[in-house]
Amino acid sequence: MVPTLLGRIQTRLFLLATVGVIITLLVVPVLPGPSGPLGDRYAGGFLVLVAVGVLGIVWELIYHFLMQFRWEKDWPTLFGLLTLVPEGLVLYFLLRSSAVDFIDPVPPAAFWTHFTLVWVCMWLVANGPMRVPFIRWRFRGGRVL
């Protein structure tokens, strides 16, 4: 899928709400580090997803801008995977600095395991299986609606 700006944002939010939620439901109970009631840990996990979505809109604007320098106006598969590094780092430091004060600081191991798993699964789904139910998605620059 070669994205348009609207398609990027929609795909991100859609995959967070589907793949992201499923992975979070599955992994939060077994994440290393955090203690406390499971409900609180789930709340933390879902808030991370929300943060990836909200910050992601800004990221997508940046990616869209950078893509304009490419002749083909494409976004290679590898970029979609490697952007987890800057996005993860920014989010991690925001959470640690308590700038986002409604999420309790998360232990590093738990954050990175959760974040990376969600990211890689979303990336895998976007690079193939997504096209099985949604046959028009890839021809519309990633728009779901």
Partner 1 sequence: MVAAAGIPIYDTPFLTVGGGMGSFVTLDYLRIYGVPTSQMRVVSNIDHPWQTYEFLTRCSQIPRKERIRSDSSSRPDNLWGFPSYALEEAWKERKPSYLWQILTEPLLNDYWTPRAGTVFENLEREAKRIGYWDMLVKGQVRMIRRRSDGGYFTVITPPGGAAPTKRIVFRSRFVHVAVGYPGLKFLPDLQEFRTKHGDYQHVVNAYEPHEQVYEFLKTRSGTVVVRGGGIVASRVLQRLFDDREKLNLKTQIIHIFRTFVTGSHGPNAWSRRKGGNGWAYQGFNYPKSVWGGQLKAEMRKLEGAERAQKYKNMGGTNTPYRRRWQEQMRAGREGGYYHAVQGTVDRVERTPDGKLVSYVRSGDGIVREPVSDYIIDCTGLEADIAEHRVFADLLQHGGAGRNPVGRLDVERHFEVKGTASGDGALYASGSATLGGYFPGVDTFLGLQIAAQEIADDLAGRGFVRKMGPLRSTSQWFKWARNSPV
Residues that bind partner 1 (CB under 8 A): 1-4, 7, 67-69, 71-74, 76-78, 81, 128-129, 131-136, 138-142
- Minimum CB separation of residue 139 from partner 1 in Å reads 5
Our CB check for partner 1 shows the closer of 36 and 128 to be 128
Sequence-distant (6+) residues with CB within 8 A of 137 are: 1, 11, 130, 131, 143, 144
Query: What is the Cα–Cα distance from 5 to 61, expressed in whole angstroms?
Result: 7
- Minimum CB separation of residue 118 from partner 1 in Å reads 19
Q: Tokens 């099985």 belong to which residue?
A: 132
Our CB check for partner 1 shows the closer of 93 and 139 to be 139
Our CB check for partner 1 shows the closer of 72 and 101 to be 72
The first and second tokens of residue 39, run together, are: 């409900």
- Minimum CB separation of residue 76 from partner 1 in Å reads 6
Our CB check for partner 1 shows the closer of 43 and 140 to be 140
- Minimum CB separation of residue 82 from partner 1 in Å reads 10
